[in-house]
Chain A
Amino acid sequence: MTECVECGAEVSLHDDLEVGEIIDCTTCGAELEVVDTEPPVLEQAPELEEDWGE
């Protein structure tokens, strides 16, 4: 568990957390980026850019 940086709600995290992964806050819907795993640290994820894709 860690805290959503947007709304402060608790965010549950899965075991194979990866730096760079995006987690959705189930309370406010914010997209949160994992910037560290030991211990878990979340930041607001970047907004979608026009050239993103595959």
Chain B
Amino acid sequence: MNVGILYSRIRKDEKLLLTELRERDHEITKIDVRKQTFDISEVPTEFADLDIVVDRCLATSRSLYATQFFEAYGIPVVNSHETADICADKVKNSLALEKAGVPTPATKVAFTKETAMEAIEDFGYPCVLKPVVGSWGRLMAKIDSESAAEAILEHKATLGHYEHKVFYIQEFVEKPGRDIRVLAVDGEPIAAMVRSSDHWITNAAKGAETDVFDLDDEALDLVEKASDAVGGGLLGVDLMETSDSYTVHEVNHTVEFKALDEAVETDVAGTVVDWLEAKAEAADPDLEVTA
């Protein structure tokens, strides 16, 4: 099959995928989104033979538009625009999880400093303020006091892009110094790991230590529901352990898996490519997915 890799930076994650695809003799079309233009009516000639496109855009804004174009061109793209649209925005992500009955941290959204302050006071201290768009634990604030809340809200309202004036406020979950990252395809886990840190932010991108994690039946069920809630695809589902269960705080749509690949025995890239082959074949039953 001919696989389009939509990218702007080749990370170790993309190299793992490229290596696996090449070992299986698949054709690869690397598409640097920075060099591409997308016509609303004409399919660019370089896309004509693509069987499937994998969105690995580093920039969320580009991912959201590019996935729409591939769908308009009738080229299967993973993840879908629907999934990208929900996962790229923490408000949409939280609403989708809540609607699907997936336990997720209590969250409020406010549009002014005054109403944001009311929401913060309702939660009490500490609580958490997150940007609606962003990743890798950046610009997240654990608010410990009224004076800190006032300062952070003032800074966001004054200095920020308009999206920073959408205040996303969340309860602080007392997790046991770690959270859980599950890499899943259409709700079926490939592998899972815990990310541990002394810091309240436990992202691998922030230097958290990782270790393999065995999912119990409850976690398996939540991963499947969370995936369905955002439209499925190749996803990173993040869970925190609570006293008696789990809470799903977000689902990531251009998921990085290099840290997971190092933490677990599973052939992560191989399993992802198995899934890609199945997706491409489902989209075109006449397709020869093996070279």
Please state if B30 and A54 are interface contacts (CB–CB under 8 Å). Answer: no
Cβ–Cβ < 8 Å partners of B252 in chain A: 53-54
Confirm or deny: B136 has a beta carbon within 8 angstroms of a beta carbon on chain A: yes
Instruction: Please pick, from A45, A46, A51, the residue contacting B60 in the complex, using a CB distance under 8 A.
Output: A51
Give the most central of A16, A22, A33, A50: most B CB within 10 Å. Answer: A50
Residues of A within 8 A of B11 (CB): 22
Answer yes or no: B32 CB below 8 A from chain A CBs. yes
Using known A-B contacts A20-B7, A20-B32, determine if residue A51 contacts B136 with beta carbons closer than 8 Å: no
The answer, yes or no, to whether A9 is at the interface (CB within 8 Å) is: no
The reply to whether A18 and B10 contact each other, CB–CB distance below 8 Å, is yes
Q: Are A54 and B135 in contact (CB under 8 A)?
A: yes
Once A19-B30, A21-B15 are accepted as A-B contacts, the answer to whether A51 and B10 lie under 8 Å apart by CB is no
Enumerate B250-286 residues with CB–CB distance to A below 8 Å. Answer: 252-256
Is B8 part of the binding interface, using a Cβ–Cβ cutoff of 8 Å?
yes
Residue B161 at the chain A interface, CB threshold 8 Å? yes
Interchain CB contact under 8 A, A49 and B59: yes
Partner of B59, one of A18, A19, A45, A52: A52
Residue of A nearest to B161 (CB): A50
Interface code A31-53, partner B: CB below 8 Å = 1, 0 otherwise? 00110000000000110011111
Contact with A along B9-25 (1 / 0, CB 8 A): 11100110011000000
User: Contacts of A52 on B, CB cut-off 8 Å?
Assistant: 58-60, 135-136
Interface of A is mostly: loop
- The reply to whether the CB of B236 lies closer than 8 angstroms to some CB of chain A is yes
* A20 with B134: CB separation less than 8 A: no
- Contact A18 B134, beta carbon cutoff 8 Å: no
Cβ contacts B22-63/A at 8 Å (1 or 0 each): 000000001010000000000000000000000000111100
A50 touches B134 (CB 8 A): yes
Asked if A51 contacts B256 (CB within 8 A), the reply is: no
Q: For residue A50, which residues in chain B have a CB less than 8 angstroms away from its CB?
A: 131, 133-134, 138-139, 161
User: A20 and B136 in contact (CB under 8 A), knowing A52-B58, A52-B59, A53-B58?
Assistant: no
With A16-B15, A18-B18, A20-B30 known as contacts, the answer to whether A51 contacts B7 (CB < 8 A) is no
Is the beta-carbon distance between B7 and A54 smaller than 8 angstroms?
Answer: no
Residues 119-146 of chain B, each 1 if its beta carbon lies under 8 Å from chain A, else 0: 0000000000001011110110000000
Q: In the complex, what residues of B have CB within 8 A of residue A16's CB? A: 15, 19
A11 smallest CB distance to B (angstroms): 17
Shortest CB-to-CB span from B20 to chain A, Å, is 13
Whether the pair A22, B135 counts as a contact (CB closer than 8 A) is no
Contact B136 A53 (CB under 8 A): yes
A21 → chain B closest CB, angstroms:
4
Contact, CB under 8 Å: A21 / B59? no
Enumerate chain B residues within 8 angstroms of A54, measured Cβ to Cβ.
135-136, 236, 252-256
Give every chain B residue within 8 A of A49 (Cβ-Cβ): 59
Among B9, B133, B135, B253, point to the contact of A20 (Cβ < 8 A): B9
Residues of B within 8 A of A53 (CB): 58, 60, 134-136, 138, 252, 254
User: Hey, which bits of chain B sit against chain A, CB under 8 A?
Assistant: 7-11, 14-15, 18-19, 30, 32, 58-61, 131, 133-136, 138-139, 161, 236, 252-256
